[in-house]
A and B are shown apart, each in its own frame.
Chain A
Amino acid sequence: AQTVTQSQPEMSVQEAETVTLSCTYDTSESDYYLFWYKQPPSRQMILVIRQEAYKQQNATENRFSVNFQKAAKSFSLKISDSQLGDAAMYFCAYGSNYKLTFGKGTLLTVNP
């Protein structure tokens, strides 16, 4: 079974600074997708970014980018120019065969 590990339960960053959230996963499959979701205090799950495993190029979405290392099974999220609205729980997720498997999340605090 696939597992997703987020080793940082909590992280903090100063407004306008950059922060990187870590994620590793375990799989024997070659075709899969990886996701970062954001869950603000409203509890709504919001897609932040998505990465196809067969693509070597790292995905980017405005201030959000990933560092995808397939051999190391690592998928970190970098948030640049952090804003107060980025404060949330961030979940890494592995997708294959209809399902997403989530990590336990990293709580990000943004300090003004």
Chain B
Amino acid sequence: SQTIHQWPATLVQPVGSPLSLECTVEGTSNPNLYWYRQAAGRGLQLLFYSVGIGQISSEVPQNLSASRPQDRQFILSSKKLLLSDSGFYLCAWSVHRVLSGNTIYFGEGSWLTVV
């Protein structure tokens, strides 16, 4: 069966520091991968998605970036964090094809607090 893991679960970082959140999927190959952010009291906002190694699509311009160095690894990064980057970050995956009935499965999430 497929599983998805992301870490760290909780992170407190000072303004201006770098960020790296990692996510891996097991039990499937060539998945679609996603990073969502959930700000306090709001819905989920799609940040990035990837349909293959090295292929990254950005949905929202910001100081965050994403990379997919391996088939089942997805990394969310920032060179300099802002206070507004605080939130709950969710990695997710789906079977690789156009989303036509494929469910998106989510990781456990990472709490980021920028102080």
Interface band, chain A:
20 to 34
- Asked whether A102 lies within 8 Å of B90 as measured between CB atoms, the reply is no
Chain A binding surface, main DSSP class: strand
- Asked whether A99 lies within 8 Å of B99 as measured between CB atoms, the reply is yes
CB distance from A44 to the nearest CB of B (A): 6
- CB within 8 Å of B: which A70-98 residues: 91, 95-98
B residues less than 8 Å from A45 (CB atoms): 44, 90, 92, 106
Q: How far is the CA of A45 from the CA of B46 in the complex (A)?
A: 14
Q: How far is the CA of A38 from the CA of B100 in the complex (A)?
A: 20
A35 within 8 A of B: yes
CB distance from A79 to the nearest CB of B (A): 19
- CB within 8 Å of A: which B57-115 residues: 59, 88, 90, 92, 94, 98-106, 108-109
CB distance from B94 to the nearest CB of A (A): 8
Given A45-B90, A45-B106, A50-B103; A98-B43 close (CB under 8 Å): no
* Additional A-B contacts beyond A31-B100, A47-B105, A98-B49 (18; CB < 8 A): A33-B99, A33-B100, A35-B103, A45-B44, A45-B92, A45-B106, A47-B103, A50-B103, A91-B44, A95-B104, A97-B98, A98-B32, A98-B99, A99-B46, A99-B59, A100-B99, A102-B44, A104-B43
